[in-house]
Structure 1
Amino acid sequence: MKKTILSGILALGATTAPALAETELSIYTGWQTAPHSRVEGDYPGTGAEFDKLIGWEGRSFEMPPYYGIRGTWWKNETLGFGLEFTHTKVYAPDDEKADIGFSDLEFTDGLNIVTVNAYRRWPGLWADGALTPYVGGGVGVAVPHVDIDTTTGIDTYEFQLTGPAARLTAGASYSINDRWAVFGEYQFTYSSNSVDLPDGGSLDTDIKTNALNVGLSLKF
């Protein structure tokens, strides 16, 4: 799934670059957290309802790490469009997941947010023209890798398409030369996740993430 998304981002640049002012391919990592959200649903095998406020942990620098990839087509000096994939992560603390009968409750081979974005930038505003602030936002889907195990031995370990997602981004890039730039940004994501569990089970949760990103862009 991740290889397909990366291929799509590369294809975006390859197919549009000849006719456009600028295309960028960017990669980033950083520090990502997630505030509390409510988890509710039907327990697999019994149908018993559960409802719990979970204090998610991001653990950005543990394997697999937090990261993102995006391709951006700048239609002109100020307006751009793009496709972005972010490998966000959330873990439920041990005591909180145990309270509702789970031994594992996490989306850690990615909460995996994929969006189509629009951007506004202000090129060459500071630092003798090298620093460019920008803002952006997009809508798309969440495709998490669901890792949920019950204390009764019912396991779910698979990718699922769980619902709509959105992101907001604000940052600034610094041009090293005509082809390379570094950037720093704040990014917020939201996803509404409806997860299918075995034996009639289900889990629903809306997850928000906050991240401070640093990255590298190739312009062509």
Structure 2
Amino acid sequence: MKTLILSATVSVAALSSLPASAQEFEISGYTGWQTAPHSRVSGDYPGTGASYDALIGWEGKSFEMPPYYGIRGTWWRSETFGLALELTHTKVYAPDDERKKLGFDRMEFTDGHNILTVNAMKRWPEYWGSATPYVGAGLGIAVPHVDVETTAGDKTYGYQLTGPAVKLLAGLSYPINDRFSVFGEYQFTYSSNEADLEGGGSLKTDIKTNALNFGVSLKF
């Protein structure tokens, strides 16, 4: 978690050092329906050195605690271009039958498979009347809360920096008044993850998520 905070601090400092020509700052919060397609999980079992490799059909469970959500701060440098710092708290669970067959009692990233990115944002003001379409693309890191336990009792529980991440999004924003707006968007994330397991084991997997988000933005 210290890595997450340090990365966020460095990213904010870098964005804030840009020329003071920004026309507005916008902070957005959202939740929504998030899913994750199948991906391969491989690595070494803790304590044994034996390897495992399987295809897992991840479950998102967006509205179960802790819920899926995201926060984005955008510096609009002009009417059409901006830079954003974004944290998306995605979630993935390995289904019971698949993880038990693989030899795990728990295998999930549910106190956040946290994706922290710096995004380039593009918008088209008043393209459809008062509605504003926008797109974004970002690069960053994955900092999941790794919650893994083998049937032998080896338990891993904590935040780890597991690898690089990519984000793509597209949406539509609609103003409520001069300061507040509501929005809906599609968001895709990809991360390449390599986690360390207690007892000398490892876990490697590429996680992809698809989400339909809805949220509120406040303009300063």
TM-score normalised by the chain length of structure 1: 0.93
Matched, 1:26 2:28: yes
- 2:138 maps to what in 1? 138
- Code of the aligned partner of 2:126: G
Gap change, CA 1:10 and 1:29, over 3 Å in 2 = farther
**Does 1:188 find its partner at 2:162?**
no
* Residue 81 of structure 1, aligned match among 80, 83, 87: 83
Letter of the 2:211 counterpart: A
Structure 2 unaligned regions, length at least 5: none
Q: Is the 8 A contact 2:21 2:77 kept in 1?
A: no
Structure-1 separation of matches of 2:192 and 2:5: 23
For residue 53 of structure 1, what is the amino acid of its counterpart?
L
Cα deviations across residues 128-160 of structure 1 (Å, max 9, x unaligned)?
A: xx2000000000000000000010000000000
Amino acid at match of 2:206: D
CA contact (8 A) 2:119 2:139 kept: yes
Q: Does 1:152 align with 2:163?
A: no
The 5 A counterparts of 1:42-121 are 42-121=44-123
Matching residue's letter, 1:215:
G
* TM-score when normalising by structure 2: 0.93
Deviation at 1:11, TM superposition (A): 7.9
Q: Following the alignment from structure 1 to structure 2, what is the Cα–Cα distance between the partners of residues 115 and 99?
A: 35
Task: Name the CA distance, whole Å, in 2 between partners of 1:13 and 1:215.
Answer: 23
1:197 shift after superposition: 0.7
Deviation of residue 202 (structure 1)? 0.4
Q: Percent identity?
A: 67
Report the Cα distance in structure 1 between the residues aligned to 2:171 and 2:21, rounded to whole angstroms. 27
The residue type paired with residue 56 of structure 2 is: I
AA partner of residue 151 (structure 1)? T
Separation in 1, partners of 2:193, 2:12: 28
CA gap of 1:180–1:64, structure 2 versus 1, over 3 A, is same
TM-superposed CA distance for 1:12, in Å, is 8.8
Question: Displacement, 1:193?
Answer: 0.4
1:104 and 1:148 in contact (8 A); partners too: yes
